[in-house]
Amino acid sequence: MTGLVRGGSTPRRGIWIGPRASDGSALSELFELDTVSGDWIGPQAKRHSSCLENQLGVRRRWAASSMEEIVGGLRHRLSQFMDRASYVIPYTATALLSRLCKDSGVKLLAPDPGIRHWLDDKRNFHQILQDAGLSTLAYDEVAAVQLPKLFQIDPAAALVVQRRRGSGGAGTFFADTKEQAVDISVRLGSESVLVSRRLRDTEVVNSLIGVAGQVAAAGPQTLQGVGIPACTNIPTAYCGSDVGAVGRLPAVVTNTVRDVSHAIAAALGRLGYQGLAGVDFLYDRDEEELYPIDLNPRFQASTRLASNAERAMGREFSFAELVLGHQAGILPATALLNWAPSAMNRSQLTVFNQQPHAVRLTSFAERAIEEDAVPLRLLGLPRRETVVMPGATLGMIEGSFSIGVKSHRWTQALDVVQALADAFEPALE
């Protein structure tokens, strides 16, 4: 956007850097952003942009772990953007990006890379919970090669196995049988993993949190879509968010999520953390228990979703903008302190390439999607000449459907997911 933002202040010039170009839209009311990304921003770009997949001709599964590659691969273009920027806002900070910002005199609106790296180890998040007097699911740390022995002790075991580092569910596995445990042990070998019991009737709730200066705050909550077969063939993969579905949870659950999230944000602040983060909670419907299970010390796909939902309901600035605006010295602390939750209605699905081979978008995609998707928004499509690797994102769908709730809108969303998948064909060598 150009000109004035609502409220009469001039938007601040900055750069969004992340795996997904579209995530920067979460901040577009407060910042005027150029974009450096893994995926293509698309023809709707309003500012300068550069993406790695157009340079390579290949789309991989761009994630938090791709940030160093994105920054390094587009370093020259990034330096050009920095000449006219006051702020750099990354999906997650890296040591290289921190050095580039320091050398260029541009303010980095993100947590310190050293703190972020420390928090990426799931054991350290559990230590923060313990130090703050907060409970979570008990876990054991074992070598992956030892997993089959757990089923010798208890043949009926049902386990969740997590790598110490990983995001988006990519490092999480279910082991319901000894055979599955053997598969994981072969894949990970002597690597140390975290093992906890698997709960069956559960919901995953994500809470956006932020620390800016001396202010720690808890923001919007979303219900997460995990392992939806139409979107992914990985049972533990995050592939959707639903900001409206939180309203279906008992008030005691959402209130507890907010209180615990605030306590976690305050604990992060004491460590010197600054910026946005997200906390995943597991709600056990059978036992009516709530467990904080994971920390995402970075921007999230649900951050953009929640920001768009807040904008749709007429808020001047989203929670994410309030946090980063105060961190940047643009907005006062009172703006963040006065943020309050309210009912919202918006959802998104991320559709992954489930084929064992690379694919390309066909020339019929836009028409096929538009015919079925009048109330839906399609994001993140690659260019037709881009080769999309197995496991990479085909695109994202955003709208007012409720994930998993039988309704016309959910059926329509699934139809669009199928139309999107059908719009890709094998990429010929």
Q: Please give the Cα distance from 173 to 161 (Å, whole number).
A: 5
- Residue 74's pLDDT band, with cuts at 50, 70 and 90, is very high
Average pLDDT over residues 61-71: 90
Per-residue pLDDT at 83 exceeds 80:
yes
**In Å, how far from its chain's centre is CA 43?**
23
- Give pLDDT, residue 365: 55
**What CATH superfamily classification does 347-426 receive?**
Pyrimidine nucleoside phosphorylase-like, C-terminal domain (3.90.1170.30)
Supply the pLDDT for residue 406: 85
Residue of 275 and 376 predicted with greater confidence? 275
Q: State the architecture of 140-197 in CATH terms.
A: 2-Layer Sandwich (3.30)
Percent of the chain with pLDDT over 70: 93
Indicate whether 355 pLDDT > 60.
Answer: yes
Residue 325 banded pLDDT, cuts 50, 70, 90: very high
Using an 8 Å Cβ cutoff, are 280 and 312 in contact? Answer: no
Domain-wise residue ranges, the chain:
12-110, 116-135+201-337, 140-197, 347-426
Summarize pLDDT for 257-285 with one digit per residue, the tens. 999 999 999 999 999 999 999 999 999 98
Position 201 scores a pLDDT of: 87
pLDDT tens digits, 148-183: 999 999 998 999 999 998 776 778 899 999 999 999
Q: pLDDT-derived band of residue 367, with 50, 70 and 90 as boundaries? A: low
Q: Could you tell me where the DSSP H helices lie in 48-173?
A: 52-56, 67-73, 75-82, 95-104, 113-120, 122-131, 147-153
Confidence at residue 7, expressed as pLDDT on a 0 to 100 scale: 40
pLDDT higher than 80, residue 11: no
Q: What is the CA radius of gyration of the chain?
A: 21
Q: In what order do the strands lie in the sheet with 107-108?
A: 49-51, 31-37, 12-18, 87-90, 107-108
Looking at residue 213, what is its pLDDT? 95
Neighbour count for residue 428 (Cβ, 10 Å): 7
Q: Where are the alpha helices (DSSP H) in 243-384?
A: 251-270, 301-312, 319-327, 333-337, 365-372
List, for residues 183-218, the tens digit of each pLDDT value. 999 999 999 999 999 888 899 999 999 999 999 999
The share of the chain scoring above pLDDT 90, in percent, equals 76
Per-residue pLDDT, 369: 56
- Mean predicted confidence (pLDDT) in 293-305: 94
pLDDT in tens, 109-134: 999 999 999 999 999 999 999 998 99
CATH C-level class of 116-135+201-337: alpha beta
Which CATH architecture best describes the domain 12-110?
3-Layer(aba) Sandwich (3.40)
CA dist 303 → 35, 194, 208, 355 (Å): 17, 27, 7, 28
